Each structure stands twice: as structure tokens, then as C-alpha cells.
């Protein structure tokens, strides 16, 4: 049975490792191979630890038994991107063998419940425009592409913002 539990500081390494595993399959062919092959653990680990410690973010480790199978981060829109949106889905990574089993839908249910309980009508997330599987999932969850920045030479830099309006 899959559970979502609040991530602890000791989980930062696990979260960094999950990202690395997910990137290896999700972004292969989108980002240059050297970025994936030379994943910089020392760069991402401190960022993951900071996110766990940040009281304005909700960070969950997703586990199947004792095995970590993904993580999920949302919270206050700290980047200033999309100023009209108070909440941002920052990360939703699920290891490939656990995808298409309803785990992502569970994460969205949690996020939508949080928004309703806090009278927040809309939220957003960022996604690489080449990540077709993620875009299809976000569309299924009710998202619509807002802004697009997809004219970069490197397809790894092409981004779009997905908007969710919970008032409807």
C-alpha cells in the first residue's frame, strides 16, 4: 500500500536519489545525456534539504512499504513566477515502475484538498514542453497550458506553465 508521509530532514538524500532515477528515464532524449549522466548530487541535496526545512512548503515522501517510490512538493509560490497564483506544485516525481497506478492522482487530490481548505482557487506548475507523459497527466488532472517558453535551441530549456482553476 502506498502512503504519503511528511518528509523529514533525513529524507533529503532519498529525495535527491529519486530525482536522479526519475530523470534518467523521464528526461533522456530531452536534456543532453551529459546532464543526466553527470547528475550533480552535491548540487541538489542541499536544495532538497532546504525545501524540507521551509515551512512554506509541503514536502511528502511517497512510500510503498519501506521503499521510497516518489516525492511530492507544493506550497507558497516563492519564485514570483505567475504572481496571480498563490500555490505552486513544485515537484511530483514517481519512479517509472510506480507510474500509472493512481499515485499522481492521489497527490493531486491532496493538493486540491489543501487548496479548498485554504480558500485558494488556483494553482500552477511548470513542465518541460517535451515531457509528453507529464503534460498528458497534468491535462487529465484539469490543467491547461498558460504561458509557453518553447523557442530555445536546447529542448531541455523549453518550458510551459500549467494552470489549474479549482473554482470550477
φ, ψ for residue 120 (rounded to 5)?
-105, 125
pLDDT tens-digit map of 49-99: 999 999 999 999 999 998 999 999 999 886 666 677 889 999 999 999 999
User: Rounded to an integer, what distance in angstroms lies between the CA atom of residue 58 and that of residue 110?
Assistant: 11
pLDDT tens-digit map of 99-139: 999 999 999 999 999 999 999 999 999 999 999 999 999 99
pLDDT for residue 167 is more than 60: no
Q: Which pLDDT belongs to residue 168? A: 46
Residue pair 127/162 in contact by the 8 Å Cβ criterion? yes
Cα dihedral: 33, 107, 90, 166 (round 10): 130
Residue pair 62/2 in contact by the 8 Å Cβ criterion? yes
Q: Which pLDDT belongs to residue 82? A: 67
The domains located in the chain, with CATH, are 2-165 (3.40.630.30)
Amino acid at each position: 500500500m502506498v502512503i504519503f508521509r511528511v518528509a523529514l530532514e533525513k529524507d533529503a538524500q532519498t529525495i535527491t536519489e529519486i530525482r536522479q532515477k526519475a530523470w534518467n528515464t523521464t528526461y533522456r532524449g530531452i536534456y543532453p545525456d551529459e546532464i543526466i549522466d553527470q547528475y550533480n548530487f552535491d548540487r541538489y541535496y542541499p536544495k532538497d534539504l532546504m525545501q524540507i526545512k521551509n515551512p512554506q512548503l509541503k514536502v511528502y515522501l511517497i512510500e510503498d512499504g519501506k521503499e521510497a517510490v516518489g516525492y511530492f512538493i507544493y506550497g507558497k509560490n516563492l519564485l514570483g513566477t505567475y504572481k496571480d497564483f498563490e500555490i505552486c506544485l513544485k515537484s511530483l516525481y514517481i519512479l517509472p515502475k510506480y507510474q500509472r497506478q493512481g499515485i499522481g492522482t492521489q497527490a493531486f487530490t491532496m493538493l486540491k484538498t489543501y487548496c479548498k481548505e485554504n480558500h485558494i482557487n488556483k494553482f500552477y506548475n511548470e513542465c518541460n514542453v517535451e515531457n509528453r507523459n507529464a503534460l498528458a497527466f497534468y491535462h487529465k488532472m484539469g490543467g491547461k497550458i498558460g504561458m509557453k517558453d518553447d523557442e530555445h535551441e536546447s529542448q531541455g530549456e523549453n518550458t510551459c506553465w500549467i494552470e489549474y482553476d479549482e473554482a470550477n
